[in-house]
Amino acid sequence: MFFPLAGKLIPWFSLLAGAFALSGLYVAFFVAPTDAQQGEAYRIIFIHVPAAWMSMFLYLVMAGWAAVGLVLNTRLSGMMASALAPTGALFTFVALWSGSLWGRPTWGTWWVWDARLTSELILLFLYLGFIALKSAIPDPSRADRAGAVLALLGVVNVPVIYFSVQWWNTLHQGASVSLTRAPSMAMTMLAGMLLMALAAWMYSIAATLSRLRAIILERERDLEWVQLQSGSLRTAP
Amino acid sequence: MSWGSLENFLHMGGYAVYVWGAYGVTALCICLEIVLLRKRAQQARR
Amino acid sequence: MGAAFGLVVARELRLALRRKGEALNVLVFFVVVASLFPFGVGPEPAMLQAMAAGVVWVAALLAAIVSMPRLFAADLADGTLEQLAASPHPLAVIVGAKVAAHWLLTGLPLALVAPLLGLQYGLPADALGVLVAALLLGTPVLSLLGAAGAALTLGVRGGGALLALLVLPLFVPVLVFGAGAVGAALSGINPGPHLSLLGAVLAVSCLVGPWAACAALRVALD
């Protein structure tokens, strides 16, 4: 049964998240040097980029589980998608917020309507729409499948966000970290970003598993093993 | 990277509002999520 | 298959003719919304010309959203929807036909009336032409994606507002490229790239919209 396994994994992922975060923050503030052009403001990168990566990654995972649920008609897939959405929305918000605070001193503006920022904002609306649709439909099975269709409808947006800086002339900086070419930034900055990205990833797993356990308990309320968990099992006299 | 003093560190080269605004709100959001998850787990057990 | 398509379109148009008011309402809504802005922002010609494309497009989006819930609701209420889903014809064809009828009743009139609004805002003739072309390409997308949204929120509480929340993010590319095309024409740049992108969005929507609507309808009818 998935439930106890998830319960055992959560503390480990939380620990990993904390460890990566501490080392990442250490690198971010005490190892990475001051930037020649942006001064200390650039240190927001250690939050902004990992958050943006997670916002896109979590949406893809969510859409993936949604697709599995639609095709194989499994209940767990739908619950997984529901568990991922709020954390994904959180990272999208953090990416937008930190980006705005970084943009103000460096670009001179809190917001600009370029392709990348606009599509990240759309991503936030897609997450919120997904959550809203699921909460509006009382029947869990219907909610899962409707949400899955919606999630898949919006998945086109993620490559748009990722490739927008290549396709359009935008104010937002182009990609400096690539899987194929050597990165064009100082190694310490890269290390800090990767550590924080790992921290965000571990945290997302822990938060999602925790939320998944709650969803399972909420939905399967009538099953015996659930009632055993909450100590509310009533046995016949 | 040596800051010299706690004051320098907090001042962030003049960008304190932006840097700590970003890190602060992020920390707040994470804490909020953890608190909400705890509450939800408690309620689900009842 | 083509016959089924034609039959459904004809049925939709006949039903709409019996309730002429509804389609007209959407058109009037579009005109009224677009005409409200000068009252709010003032009559200065240069500013109005600059915001014309955006205003007309946003009004078109809102008009589409207002008319969307009706696409499936009436048929759900009287049981026709279940019969259509159970028919031997592919649901995608039936959905496509409903979308086509919806566009003929809302998107097309909207695109034809838009030049009048454009004149109100002081758009020159070539920009007006681009506006109509862009709307003709973009309004079908609104109908296609809106149908998916309508199917997803069929019979759900708070359906109208939820529909808007779900579907407006998907409409943003249409808005950006559509308004951008007119903006390009105003600046003397070739609007071709914008219109091509609109065409690409239309092509993708033709595939994605009906699929999503069918999947959502089956979810709603189960």
What does pTM read for this prediction?
0.87
Q: For residue B39, tell me if it sits in a domain.
A: yes
pLDDT on residue C100: 93
Rounded mean pLDDT of C188-216?
Answer: 91
Q: What separation in angstroms does the CA of A160 have from each of A56, A86, C127, C173, C209?
A: 10, 21, 28, 10, 18
Does residue A211 sit at the B interface (CB-CB below 8 Å)? yes
What percentage of chain C carries pLDDT values higher than 90?
54
What percentage of chain C carries pLDDT values higher than 70?
100
Chains that touch C (3 or more CB pairs under 8 A): A
Q: For residue B17, tell me if it sits in a domain.
A: yes
Q: For residue A56, tell me if it sits in a domain.
A: yes
**Which chain C residue has its CA at the smallest distance from A154's CA?**
C170
Asked whether C110 and C60 are in contact (CB, 8 A), the reply is yes
The 10s digit of each residue's pLDDT in C142-188 is 999 999 999 999 888 877 889 999 999 999 889 988 998 999 999 88
Question: Does A237 have pLDDT greater than 60?
Answer: no
Interface touch A132/C152, C-beta < 8 Å: no
Q: For residue A132, tell me if it sits in a domain.
A: yes
Number of domains in chain B: 1
In angstroms, the CA C132 to CA C115 distance is 7
Rounded mean pLDDT of C126-130?
Answer: 92
Q: For residue A37, tell me if it sits in a domain.
A: no
pLDDT on residue C220: 87
Q: Which domain holds residue A11?
A: 2-32+43-230
Query: Which has more confidence, A165 or C15?
Result: C15
Rounded mean pLDDT of C91-108?
Answer: 92
Over chain A, what is the mean pLDDT? 86
pLDDT on residue A160: 78
Q: Which of C166, C205, C208 to mutate to test the interface with A (most CBs of A within 10 A)?
A: C166
In angstroms, the CA A120 to CA B16 distance is 25
Asked whether C146 and C65 are in contact (CB, 8 A), the reply is yes
In angstroms, the CA A40 to CA B24 distance is 16
Number of domains in chain A: 1
Q: For residue A237, tell me if it sits in a domain.
A: no
Q: What separation in angstroms does the CA of A59 have from each of A158, C30, C37, C127?
A: 8, 34, 37, 39
Task: Name the nearest CA neighbour of C65 among C157, C135, C137, C149.
Answer: C149
**Which chain A residue has its CA at the smallest distance from B37's CA?**
A211
Chains that touch B (3 or more CB pairs under 8 A): A
Q: Which domain holds residue B15?
A: 6-45
Q: For residue B1, tell me if it sits in a domain.
A: no
What percentage of chain A carries pLDDT values higher than 90?
51
Interface touch C220/A142, C-beta < 8 Å: yes
Would you call C35 exposed, middle or buried from its count of C-beta atoms within 10 A (0-12, 13-18, 19+)?
Answer: middle
Question: Does C119 have pLDDT greater than 80?
Answer: yes
Query: Which has more confidence, C2 or C63?
Result: C63
Interface touch B1/A203, C-beta < 8 Å: no
Q: For residue A54, tell me if it sits in a domain.
A: yes
Does residue A133 sit at the C interface (CB-CB below 8 Å)? yes
pLDDT on residue A68: 94
Question: Considering only residues 7 to 46 of chain B, which have any Cβ-Cβ distance to chain A shorter than 8 Å?
Answer: 9, 12-15, 17-19, 21-23, 25-26, 29-30, 33-34, 37, 40-41, 43-46
Residue bearing tokens 């690409």: C200
Confidence tier at C73 by pLDDT (50, 70, 90): confident
The 10s digit of each residue's pLDDT in C207-222 is 999 999 999 999 888 7
Q: For residue A109, tell me if it sits in a domain.
A: yes
Q: For residue A70, tell me if it sits in a domain.
A: yes
